[in-house]
């Protein structure tokens, strides 16, 4: 049995089972779907360069904040998060994290007349008001195409990237962290080799070796 099969069977699948037991929706994108770039792999994105699942985020924003939001306001809120473009991944991540934690606003609540009403991306007060989705093999195009083992989304926003390693890997921490750094374009190579935009909204990345232990990068 190859290391990749052992990784999938004994680590990735087990982790997805745990997430499902905790109430997460899970989705496995098959290798053939990624290879042929099918609609299942695209997941309603306009292109594989996009990292937000906008259809889910639009629904969540209205559910959390109220139906008073007009479609153009929702699109504006999503664009604010999507179009953060600082000089480094660290700065992008800091700006996105502040936006997700501190919220944003739109010009007007057309129902009440209130100016600059707050709009939240995530409901931290009522956790059940959010949508939790774990996707295995979520493909993203960047300088190179990356396919992390598991990406965790809250309301269509990728917050966690997990790299799984087979139980018999000698140094899973090194292997996992090195791969995550490649995905982030953070290995100090002359040319970019990943798709760092996936990590703009990333709260943490981790490698997962077995069902009893998760280590954070």
**What pLDDT does residue 169 have?**
81
**What pLDDT does residue 211 have?**
41
**What pLDDT does residue 170 have?**
82
**What pLDDT does residue 210 have?**
60
Q: Quick one: average pLDDT of 22-27?
A: 98
| Position 5 pLDDT exceeds 90 | no
Q: Are 29 and 40 in contact (CB under 8 A)?
A: yes
Q: Are 194 and 205 in contact (CB under 8 A)?
A: no
| Position 212 pLDDT exceeds 50 | no
148 closest CA partner among 121, 124, 129, 176: 176
pLDDT tens-digit readout, 164-196: 988 778 888 889 999 999 999 999 999 999 999
Listed in sequence order, the residues at least 6 apart from 99 whose beta carbon sits closer than 8 Å to its beta carbon are 80, 81, 84, 121
In the structure, what pLDDT confidence band is assigned to residue 2 with cuts at 50, 70 and 90?
Answer: low
pLDDT tens-digit readout, 86-136: 999 999 999 999 999 999 999 999 999 999 999 999 999 999 999 999 999
Interatomic CA distance for residues 144 and 140, integer angstroms: 9
In our burial notation (b when 16+ CB lie closer than 10 A, e otherwise), range 3-31 reads: eeebbbebbbbbbbeebeeeebebeebee
**How big, in percent rounded to 5, are the helix, strand and coil portions of the chain?**
40, 20, 40
Q: Quick one: average pLDDT of 198-206?
A: 92
Angle between helices 71-82 and 54-65 (to 10 degrees): 120
Across the chain, mean pLDDT equals: 93
State how far the alpha carbon of 29 is from the alpha carbons of 130, 137, 139, 201, in Å.
22, 6, 9, 22
pLDDT tens-digit readout, 40-93: 999 999 999 999 999 999 999 999 999 999 999 999 999 999 999 999 999 999
**What pLDDT does residue 206 have?**
73
In our burial notation (b when 16+ CB lie closer than 10 A, e otherwise), range 70-93 reads: eeebbeebbebbbebeeeebeebb
State how far the alpha carbon of 83 is from the alpha carbons of 92, 108, 127, 135, 162, in Å.
10, 21, 26, 23, 24
pTM of the model: 0.93
Domain positions in the chain are 3-216
Q: Quick one: average pLDDT of 192-217?
A: 75
- 207 vs 194 pLDDT, higher one: 194
């Amino acid at each position: 049995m190859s290391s990749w099969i052992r990784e999938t069977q004994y680590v990735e699948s087990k982790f997805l089972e745990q997430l499902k037991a905790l109430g997460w929706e899970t989705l496995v994108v098959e290798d053939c779907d990624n290879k042929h770039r099918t609609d299942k792999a695209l997941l309603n994105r306009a292109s594989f360069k996009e990292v937000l699942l906008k259809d889910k985020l639009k629904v969540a924003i209205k559910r959390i904040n109220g139906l008073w939001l007009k479609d153009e306001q929702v699109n504006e809120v999503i664009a604010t998060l999507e179009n953060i473009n600082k000089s480094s991944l660290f700065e992008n991540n800091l700006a996105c994290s502040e936006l997700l934690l501190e919220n944003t606003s739109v010009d007007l609540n057309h129902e009440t007349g209130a100016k600059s009403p707050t709009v939240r991306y995530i409901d931290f007060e009522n956790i059940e008001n959010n949508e939790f989705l774990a996707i295995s093999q979520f493909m993203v195009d960047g300088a190179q195409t990356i396919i992390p083992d598991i990406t965790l989304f809250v309301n269509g926003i990728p917050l966690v990237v997990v790299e799984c390693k087979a139980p018999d890997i000698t140094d899973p921490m090194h292997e996992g962290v090195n791969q995550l750094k490649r995905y982030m374009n953070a290995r100090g190579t002359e040319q970019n080799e990943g798709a760092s935009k996936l990590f703009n909204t990333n709260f943490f990345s981790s490698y997962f070796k077995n069902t009893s232990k998760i280590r954070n990068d």
